[in-house]
């Protein structure tokens, strides 16, 4: 039973365009959400996060949107760059526990 | 800045052998996590700890054990290794539940 779902295994985008990565969750106790980026043979690195009291958080080219009623969040990358090509993981933290649950990831390819 | 250090980086085990994956962090973080990443399956939480002396099961704890005797160290023990435990293992730490987690470089384990 997946609590955090990333239904698109891959996404291909042209350089300069917008990349939109989606994530759905089922556990209503999740109140903190994070996006991580991972290159092959490396550990994931933190990208951006959002608390459930907000619906948007921006950091440079990266913006995360949270729709609590739909239990959905998305990561927007504008403009996309070839260096953004990586696997992106969505993660969520449960307010009643100390765990951090990840989705399966979406592989983003940004083509020049 | 060492961050989160995992050893070893690679290991081949025979079926039935046991081993300990080491993880240490120098950031004085309270929370520590162990994940495994199988191809196409994202990161699955094995065990986590919210502080020294406290551990809790994650999504896939069977076949593993952990201990947290100090703030810095969070070793993962595999008893009676099985081929199904072939995976890449990541250790992570965070200051609190609602802060970013930092990951180690991973341990690639093969059980033959």
**DSSP H or E segment with residue B88:** strand B87-94
Q: What is the dihedral of CA B56, B58, B62, B68, to 10 degrees?
A: -40
Helix, strand or coil, per DSSP, at residue A38? strand
pLDDT beneath 50, residues of chain A: none
Please give the pLDDT value at position A94.
86
Tokens of B85: 């435990």
A40 neighbors A30 (Cβ within 8 angstroms) = no
CA distances from B91 to A96, B46, B48 (A): 22, 10, 10
CATH class of B4-111: mainly beta
The Cα of A81 is separated from the nearest Cα of chain B by a number of Å equal to 24
| Short-list B109, B79, B84, B97, CA closest to B29 | B97
The pLDDT value recorded for residue B61 is: 97
Cα atoms in the Cβ-side hemisphere of radius 13 Å centred on B80: 2
* Cα–Cα distance for residue pair A73/A66, rounded to 1 Å: 4
Q: Do B103 and A89 touch (CB under 8 A)?
A: no
Q: Give, as one character, the DSSP assignment of residue A80.
A: -
Chain B within 8 Å of A9 (Cβ-Cβ)?
yes
The pLDDT of residue B1 is 67
Q: Where are the domains of chain B?
A: 4-111
- Residue pair A62/A84 in contact (Cβ under 8 Å)? The answer is no
pLDDT at A95: 77
Structure-token match 């526990």, residue found = A97
Q: How would residue B25 be classed by pLDDT, with cut points 50, 70 and 90?
A: very high
Q: What is the average pLDDT across B18-29?
A: 97
Beta strands, E only, B31-74? 31-37, 43-51, 54-57, 64-66
Give residue A1's pLDDT.
73
- Whether residue B97 and residue A103 make contact (CB cut-off 8 A), yes or no, is no
Kindly list the structural domains of chain A, giving each domain's residue range(s) and its CATH number in brackets, ordered by start: 4-111 (2.60.40.10)
pLDDT at residue number A4: 95
Question: What are phi and psi for residue B17, nearest 5 degrees?
Answer: -75, 165
Q: Chain B residue with minimal CA distance to A96?
A: B97
Q: How confident is the model at residue B98 (pLDDT cuts 50, 70, 90)?
A: confident
Q: Which of B42, B96, B101 is the best mutation test for A, with the most CBs of A within 10 A?
A: B42
Average pLDDT over chain B, rounded to whole? 95
| Confidence at residue A65, expressed as pLDDT on a 0 to 100 scale | 98
Partner-chain contact B100 A49, CB within 8 Å: yes
Considering only CB atoms, which chain A residues are within 8 Å of B23?
none
> Beta B43-51 vs B102-103: how paired, if at all?
unpaired
Extract the tokens encoding A93.
Answer: 């933290």
């Amino acid at each position: 039973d997946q609590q955090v779902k990333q239904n698109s295994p891959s996404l291909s985008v042209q350089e300069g365009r917008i990349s939109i990565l989606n994530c759905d969750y089922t556990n209503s106790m999740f109140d903190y959400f994070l996006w991580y980026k991972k290159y092959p043979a490396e550990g994931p690195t933190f990208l951006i996060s959002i608390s459930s009291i907000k619906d948007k958080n921006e950091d440079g080219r990266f913006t995360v949107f949270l729709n609590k009623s739909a239990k959905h969040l998305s990561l927007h990358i504008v403009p996309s760059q070839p260096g953004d090509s990586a696997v992106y993981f969505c993660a969520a933290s449960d307010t009643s526990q100390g765990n951090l649950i990840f989705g399966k990831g979406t592989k983003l390819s940004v083509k020049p | 800045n060492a961050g989160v250090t995992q050893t070893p980086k690679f290991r081949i085990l025979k079926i039935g052998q046991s081993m300990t994956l080491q993880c240490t962090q120098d950031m004085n973080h309270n929370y520590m996590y162990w994940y495994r990443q199988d191809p196409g399956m994202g990161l699955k939480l094995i065990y986590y700890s919210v502080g020294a002396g406290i551990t809790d099961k994650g999504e896939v704890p069977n076949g593993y054990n952990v201990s947290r005797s100090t703030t810095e160290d969070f070793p993962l023990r595999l008893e009676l290794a099985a081929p199904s435990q072939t995976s890449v293992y990541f250790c992570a730490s965070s200051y609190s539940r609602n802060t970013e987690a930092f990951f180690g470089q991973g341990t690639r384990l093969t059980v033959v």
